[in-house]
Amino acid sequence: MIKPLISVIIPMYNCEKYIEECIKSLSTQSIAKQIEIIIVDDGSEDKSAIVAQESLHYFNLKGKVIRQVNKGVSAARNIGIDEANGEFLMFIDADDTLIKDALKSLYDKAIKKKSKLVYGGYRNVTSKNKEIWNYTNTYKYFSGSGSDTTLLFLQRKIWIRIGTFIVCKELVITNKIRFSVGCKYGEDQEFTIKCLLASEKVETISQTIYNYRQHDDSAMRKRNFEQFDYVDAMIRIYRYLEDNNYSNDELKETIVHYVLPNAIMSVIYCLAYSGVKHKELVTFIEKKEYDKFLKVPLNDIAIGYGIDKEIMLWRKYPIYYCYKAHLRFFIKSFIVKATKLFVFK
């Protein structure tokens, strides 16, 4: 049996509406016959698994659908890693699509530059595939060492999301890199950072390769305390750096003096915006001991984004902070409703 060049791993949950389009985008790849597709159905309650199996057959693609009880996206991706036979791995979401020839561009660059990880850009699209935002509007492309790339990633000067890169399977297995099961926010970034750190050299192709679909009813838009999972993911990265004796102190300093304070304040604001009371937030933060990360000196990046002012306001006047955030929600909601009424009249 010829070894696949790339194993494309697709976790899937209730995506019967989009999975065919996702698989179709894989069929347009010029190396479609040299890849394998592993779809892990995470306990879907619709016909996702049936549609996926039929689509693989219709487009004559090598692949399989694995069914499991609902365990979450991380568990589904880990099963995909275990089942993969390809030289490289790629993870895409069941409602997203790849640009034509994205896989060949990534693979050719990996072979030419002898790189274990290669990434490209992406764009956000509506449910009807209308572009909302493009990577090049905000970020730059960068090729360099894994450590340097990680630092730029943490500083948000570049952004590498799941679906935009291929990574050598051997690197993932050798370094025992897995998705953190149970983590609902930040698990992608945690996995990506660990892959970057393990890569001697990271390459990029300066082009859009991935369509990330944004839904109005996306689960990622729902506000709950699970959003603090992202904070925990970044704490795990810090410990990962310490446990593996990484000598780049700037990485750890960036996490402590920018990433964690920014992450904590971002979640606080989101939850306050959605109406969570300050007492609940204060209690939760004290219980998780996040407050210590809001007392550290901030670096220039954090100060540049005004995080110092946000922290000061939150720590001195949590009631006012939450009230101010929630007031913005009501104002925005009013404007949206008023605009809709005006447009439809």
For residue 78, give every residue at least 6 positions away whose Cβ sits within 8 Å of its Cβ, in sequence order, or none: 178, 179, 181
Question: Tell me, what's the pLDDT at 248?
Answer: 86
For residue 278, give every residue at least 6 positions away whose Cβ sits within 8 Å of its Cβ, in sequence order, or none: 272, 318, 319, 321, 322
The pair of three-digit structure tokens given for residue 132, joined into one six-digit string: 């909302």
Domain residue limits, the chain: 6-220, 223-341
- From first to last of its 345 residues, the chain has per-residue pLDDT tens of 689 999 999 999 999 999 999 999 999 999 999 999 999 999 999 999 999 999 999 999 999 999 999 999 999 999 999 999 999 999 999 999 999 999 999 999 999 999 999 999 999 999 888 999 999 999 999 999 999 999 999 999 999 999 999 999 999 999 999 999 999 999 999 999 999 999 999 999 999 999 999 986 544 456 799 999 999 999 999 999 999 988 889 999 999 999 999 999 999 999 999 999 999 999 999 999 999 999 999 999 999 999 999 999 999 999 999 999 999 888 877 776 666 665 544
> Mapping DSSP to helix (H, G, I), strand (E, B) and coil, where does residue 278 land?
helix
Question: Tell me, what's the pLDDT at 341?
Answer: 60
Strand 131-134 to 165-168 pairing: unpaired
Question: Tell me, what's the pLDDT at 339?
Answer: 66
Q: What would the DSSP string read from start to end of 7-46?
A: EEEEEESS-TTTHHHHHHHHHTSTTGGGEEEEEEEES-SS
Percent of residues in the chain assigned helix, strand, coil, to nearest 5: 50, 15, 30
Give the up-direction half-sphere exposure of residue 263: CA atoms within 13 A in the CB hemisphere: 27
Contact 35, 103 (CB under 8 A): yes
Q: Is the pTM of this model over 0.85?
A: yes
Question: Tell me, what's the pLDDT at 2?
Answer: 87
Instruction: For residues 256 and 263, give the distance between their C-alpha atoms in angstroms, rounded to a whole number.
Output: 11
Question: Tell me, what's the pLDDT at 345?
Answer: 45
- Distance, first Cα to last Cα, the chain: 63
Q: Kindly state which CATH superfamily the domain 6-220 is placed in.
A: Spore Coat Polysaccharide Biosynthesis Protein SpsA; Chain A (3.90.550.10)
49: nearest Cα among 65, 34, 36, 60: 65
Dihedrals phi, psi of 127, to nearest 5 degrees: -60, -20
The pair of three-digit structure tokens given for residue 22, joined into one six-digit string: 């996702």
Question: Tell me, what's the pLDDT at 220?
Answer: 42
Question: Tell me, what's the pLDDT at 219?
Answer: 42
Burial (CB < 10 A; 0-12, 13-18, 19+), residue 115, is buried
